[in-house]
């Protein structure tokens, strides 16, 4: 029987709020079994880039990563944000180890092909080195992955943290029974965007199609949900979406996705 593995992705708004982040990391550290944390840090990267006089380049609301922007991402994701999280987890007796895709050759990617837009140094994931990550978990380390991958030829890439979490969950499902958690500021997927308490507690493939057709899942939720269902199709057991209270074990008011 496979051991259980929880993969938790935390969003930008939680990272920006020190009190909220500390509470989430405490809850994360108390979770039983093997676990992996994945974080972004786009807001902090933009803030530091502005201080350095590096202008964020956007096209249709999506970030373009040039060489200067990538350097900032490496500093902020792999350094500032990652090490602060690792240090806080150590304070909660969770033996965390900071990781990028290059560390232990964990996540190999290629530069996103140019179609209508050249996103620059943005990576699309090719493979997850589940053997090396499993070795860390079995040695009782808790990996904390930032949103950076590499191409095995010396080039780092900026990679969407939601995608990294989904790819890790899929890649590790050969070794573990994996559950993927997306932690953000909402309580879950909402029936009505104006009603915080209208959480849809369970969504399967059929319900997902209905919600898409009705326009209830739209805008920023579209890529997130697409990632979720792709992960489920690659043997991830379930995906949970909600705020940090879903890590408590006693709360059931969040969204669970299954096939």
* DSSP 3-state of 158: strand
pLDDT reading at 8 higher than 90: yes
H/E element, 216: none
**What is the pLDDT at residue 241?**
95
Average per-residue pLDDT for the chain: 94
**What is the pLDDT at residue 11?**
83
Give the tens place of pLDDT for each residue, 49-77.
999 999 888 887 777 999 999 999 999 99
* DSSP 3-state of 40: coil
SS3 string of 191-208?
Answer: CCCCCCCCECCEECHHHH
CA pair distance 125, 123, nearest whole angstrom: 6
Give the tens place of pLDDT for each residue, 158-189.
999 999 999 999 999 999 999 999 998 889 99
Residues above pLDDT 90, as percent of the chain: 81
- Unique residue bearing structure tokens 């705020």: 243
Instruction: Identify which has the larger pLDDT, 192 or 89.
Output: 89
Locate the DSSP E strands across the chain.
4-10, 34-39, 57-59, 62-64, 96-99, 107-111, 123-128, 142-145, 148-150, 156-158, 177-183, 202-203, 238-242, 255-257
């Amino acid at each position: 029987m496979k051991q259980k593995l929880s993969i938790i992705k935390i969003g930008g708004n939680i990272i920006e709020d020190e009190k909220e982040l500390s509470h989430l990391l405490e809850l994360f550290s108390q979770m039983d079994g093997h676990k992996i944390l994945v974080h972004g840090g786009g807001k902090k990267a933009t803030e530091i880039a502005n201080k350095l006089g590096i202008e964020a380049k956007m096209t249709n609301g999506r970030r373009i990563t040039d060489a200067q922007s990538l350097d900032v991402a490496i500093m902020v994701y792999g350094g500032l944000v990652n090490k602060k999280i690792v240090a806080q987890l150590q304070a909660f007796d969770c033996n965390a180890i900071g990781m990028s895709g290059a560390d232990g050759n964990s996540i190999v990617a290629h530069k996103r092909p140019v179609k209508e837009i050249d996103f620059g140094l943005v990576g699309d994931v090719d493979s997850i080195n589940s053997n090396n990550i499993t070795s860390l978990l079995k040695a009782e380390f808790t990996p904390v992955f930032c949103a950076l991958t590499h191409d095995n030829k010396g080039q780092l890439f900026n990679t969407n943290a939601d995608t990294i979490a989904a790819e890790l969950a899929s890649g590790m499902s050969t070794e573990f029974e994996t559950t993927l958690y997306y932690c953000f500021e909402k309580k879950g997927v909402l029936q009505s965007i104006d009603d915080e308490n209208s959480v849809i507690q369970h969504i399967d493939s059929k319900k997902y199609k209905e919600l898409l057709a009705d326009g209830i899942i739209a805008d920023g939720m579209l890529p997130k949900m697409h990632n979720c269902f792709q992960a489920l199709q690659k043997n991830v057991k379930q995906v949970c979406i909600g705020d940090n209270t879903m890590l408590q074990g006693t709360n059931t008011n969040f969204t669970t996705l299954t096939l």
